[in-house]
Structure 1
Amino acid sequence: MIEGFVQFASHMSWRPTYRSSKFRNVYGKVANREHCFEGIPITKNVHDNHFCAVNSKFLAIVTESAGGGSFIVIPVAQAGRIDPHHPKVCGHQGNVLDIKWNPFHENIIASCSEDSSVRIWEIPDSGLRRNMTEAILELYGHSRRVGLIEWHPTSSGILFSAGYDYKILIWNLEIGEPVKMIDCHSDVILCMSFNTEGSLLATSCKDKKLRVIEPRTGQVLQEANCKNHKVNRVVFLGNMKRLLTTGVSRWNTRQIALWDQGDGNIRYYEVTTEKPYLQYLMEFRSPAPQKGLGVMPKHGLDVGACEVFRFYKLVTLKGLIEPISMIVPRRSETYQEDIYPMTPGTEPSLSAEEWLSGINRGPVLMSLKEGYSRPSKLVFKAPVKEKKSVVVNGIDLLENVPPRTENELLRMFFRQQDELRRLKDELAQKDIKIRQLELELNNLRNSPNINNNNNNNNDEDSM
């Protein structure tokens, strides 16, 4: 399946071939200035990620920060110029590399960092009033920085993290521990993507291999070498047994791509079940290159305006977050059911334990016809547990883990200095005690009573 796909992608043309489609005339609409977010110190980190995550309640953006990593959380309705002192989530000790909202708890967001940790945060309904430094859960298991995180699409409480130690850890957040480790990559993992029910995981890797993995066993089901291609992103196409990749060829020409961070354009396609499977439609052009794109979930779209996608474009130089809506032009004011099929909602279909036990189940679908009504708020319960070891597959992941940041290295150095100073003080006290005992012993030996007793003993012996 993968080899055929790679061959197909390498021959894809940028020139449109027209066919009948309900999305034929879709166009991109940039939000008015008052609906943009301005004055945000967007991170200048060169890590290959989007640094942005959005759901129907909040927009989160990774920011520049001194003394550690941070990201800002803004209610999506609170557009305009952002106060430079706006509160941040700033508990990491290193740069934040990825952030993702929980698909079933819209106040829960996960982050990962150069400090080798993954952290889970709960954002108040009203947003942040002050800096948030305490996560509800801190997860340690990677020996190097963590570059990617992904929530499982159907199971509550399952999170995947990919580190620069070339490992993928599967976390059961109900117990706060990693329960599986996928160790089949030989270089940095660039992207992770699930199929619809979460029973398969596709990865792209810096070793130029594309893999399809059974995540609960770690078994590689299919693998393709992409020696002539650099595959940056991979995604499962819904229920279709096909993958879509983006990247560049050996001649540095763009291959099939929905968007590219080297320009400000967004190209859109229609995916079909018949050949040629992927149909180029149109292109939204913009002169400003983007740092990343956040994608609004389907239930957060404006159905009345026939909005089928909404991107939040990060423009670093301007400190600007620019919403871009993809609109299907329709004159009718009634619900357009043909462009809004049933879509995954905000209810999980599996518990963490059910998925880990081998059960697969598709997502709980919802209709957008009556508009999105928020379900009763689910409570995210973080386990209260402090572990000194993390054992997965018989390996203690925290054994001999090196310091994760310069600050941690300094703290470790000072702790060792304090311990060394304490041991020296104890040794000095013992030396003093020994000298005192030696003096007491000498005094006893030179005592007159002892000498008289010795003389008396000698006299008795002579008699």
Structure 2
Amino acid sequence: MAANQDMKRVVRQSKFRHVFGQAVKNDQCYDDIRVSRVTWDSSFCAVNPKFVAIIIEASGGGAFLVLPLLKTGRIDKSYPTVCGHTGPVLDIDWCPHNDHVIASGSEDCTVMVWQIPENGLVTSMAEPVVVLEGHSKRVGIITWHPTARNVLLSAGCDNQIIIWNVGTGEAMITLDEMHPDVIYNVTWNRNGSLICTACKDKAIRVIDPRKEMIVADNMEEAMTVNEMDTSNGVLLPFYDPDTNVVYLCGKGDSSIRYFEITDEAPYVHFLSTFATKEPQRGMGYMPKRGLDVNKCEIARFYKLHERKCEPIVMTVPRKSDLFQDDLYPDTSGPDHALEAEEWFDGKNGDPILISLKNGYVPGKNREFKVVKKNILDSKNTENSGPANKSKSGAKLEEILKEVKSLKDLVSSQDKRIAKLEEQMSNIAI
């Protein structure tokens, strides 16, 4: 009896101790995809409850595939792509507030934002909704603000971070003197008030981007250290704030290691490793609202091989068919807490949470036209003060004049064509 009590003390109780990973069957993979060979350390894959996007090899510029989640099996070589960049695409990220909007960063030094049709691409897309120009070297990191609409961060090999208002196409904040070397990664905190960066100079910086100020740097004393054999390459971390589980996927490695984070020492608890024979070229991570709650799925990864994308499902074994409240606390939903202008003015907003009790059903055409509409609205009605109203009035007058002159031009061309037709008929006679 005493021995059993001792065992209970030794074995830490956790509902995630038995989480297991499983690759889906072959017919649920995305096959015959030429995954990008660019030597860059981003994940090369972005997923949401509607689409999986994968950066691919492309001749004559950069391109990525956008596939509806159910479009599994062999992907035809002629399948349409998003192909507006003139150099290889290095990073992609789905907007958390609109499942049809995706941003991309490229070696061509630009950031582009795209609006994907309801059922995916029918023809290749070369025209973005907006092009964001401001970096002087390739753009390797793209990440949307978690709670403010139309706020996008990009980081380039010019060691600069730019935060954009996508609605107006403007660079609102430029952080250009904080990093002496290449920025490897940038992440927002949960409400998007701070960012954390990893840099080639081996320093981690926590930055308040609106104050343009480093609030923590070079955290030399680690709370805990876990040694891992990762000789093959960079680790891609994915953190789930709902369950406090962190997943580490080695790029060029063939495993996913996962750990539980707690408030008490030793803080980081190794759970298990999911390993396969094939190394991964990249990895996509499904937002919580895209998971199957009926199967106790707590994470889903999209592993990129050389020629395919393979979903991997992480499950907590449970016998009950009832909804497991402890596995699925309310999670970040698709609604934004703030408009871009509010965030740039200094406001913060926590994620708007949703229940997954009945599963998440993606809305059809959700905010489908908002980005384009927003660009026009923001340009014409920004702040809507008296000065801006007069600016808007002047702009409207200018447009009306232009329309009138175009009408006059069409009218004179009509007369000219009529005259020419008359002359031609006379010649014919």
Cα 1:234/1:189, change in 2 over 3 Å = farther
Which of 6, 9, 18 matches 1:25? Answer: 18
Matches within 5 A, 1:435-450: none
Residue 380 (structure 1) shift: 2.5
* Residue 167 of structure 1, CA deviation: 0.5
For the residues of structure 2 that align with 1:349 and 1:381, how far apart are their CA atoms? Answer: 16
Kindly indicate whether residue 197 of structure 2 is the aligned counterpart of residue 203 of structure 1.
Answer: yes
Aligned counterpart in structure 2 of residue 144 of structure 1, from 137, 140, 146: 137
Unaligned 5+ runs, structure 2 = 1-9, 228-232, 380-429
1:366 aligns with: 354
**8 Å contact from structure 1 (residues 349, 364) kept in 2:** yes
Structure-2 separation of matches of 1:146 and 1:262: 22
Pairs within 5 Å for 1:144-223: 144-183=137-176, 184-223=178-217
* Alpha carbons 1:49, 1:97 under 8 Å: kept: yes
Query: For residues 344 and 374 of structure 1, what CA distance do their matches in structure 2 show?
Result: 14
1:337 equivalenced with 2:331 (yes/no): no
Conserved 8 A contact 1:190-1:233: no
Per-residue CA deviations over 1:424-443 (Å, capped at 9, x if unaligned) read xxxxxxxxxxxxxxxxxxxx
One-letter amino acid matched to 1:262 = G
Percentage of identical aligned residues = 45
- Within-5 A mapping of 1:209-288: 209-224=203-218, 238=241, 258-288=248-278
Q: Which runs of 4+ in 1 moved over 3 A?
A: 225-240
Residue in structure 2 matched with residue 420 of structure 1 by the alignment? none
Please report how far the alpha carbon of residue 106 of structure 1 lies from its aligned counterpart in structure 2 after TM superposition: 0.3
Q: Deviations over 1:357-390 (max 9, x none)?
A: 11111100011001113347223233259x9xxx
Q: Distance in 2 between matches of 1:371 and 1:243?
A: 21
Q: 1:360 to 1:235 in 2, by over 3 A?
A: farther
Q: TM-score, normalised by structure 1?
A: 0.73
Instruction: Measure the CA separation in 2 of the matches of 1:238 and 1:329.
Output: 20
- The residue type paired with residue 14 of structure 2 is S
After superposition, the Cα gap between the structure-2 partners of 1:371 and 1:239, relative to the gap in structure 1 and judged at 3 Å, is: closer
CA distance in 2, matches of 1:103, 1:53: 11
Query: Aligned-pair distance for 1:175?
Result: 1.0
Structure showing greater radius of gyration is 1
Residues 377-411 of structure 1: CA distance to partner in whole angstroms, max 9, x if unpaired? 223233259x9xxxxxxxxxxxxxxxxxxxxxxxx
In structure 2, the partner of 1:105 is 98
Compared CA separation, residues 36 and 232, structure 1 to 2 (3 A): closer
Give 1:344 deviation, angstroms: 0.4
Could you tell me which runs of 5 or more consecutive residues in structure 1 were left unpaired when the two chains were aligned: 1-16, 245-256, 388-463
Question: Does 2:281 align with 1:291?
Answer: yes
Q: Deviations over 1:109-145 (max 9, x none)?
A: 0001000000000110111111111111011000111
Residue 414 of structure 1 is matched in structure 2 by none
Distance of 1:63 and 1:231 partners within structure 2: 20
- What is the TM-score with the length of structure 2 in the denominator? 0.78
1:41 partner SS: coil
Secondary structure at the counterpart of residue 258 of structure 1: strand
Check conservation: 2:279, 2:305, Cα contact below 8 A.
yes
Q: What is the deviation of 1:218?
A: 1.5
Deviation of the 1:262 alpha carbon: 3.2
- CA deviations over 1:290-323 (Å, ceiling 9, x no partner): 011100110010100100000000011xx11100
| Deviation of 1:226 (Å) | 6.9
Q: Deviations over 1:254-280 (max 9, x none)?
A: xxx722123211111112222222211
Deviations 1:304-345 (A, max 9, x none): 0100000000011xx111000001000100001101111100
Is the contact made by 1:204 and 1:231 (CA closer than 8 Å) also made in structure 2?
A: no
Corresponding residue pairs, total: 355
In structure 2, the CA distance between the partners of 1:351 and 1:167, relative to structure 1 (3 Å rule), is same
Q: Secondary structure at the match of 1:339?
A: coil
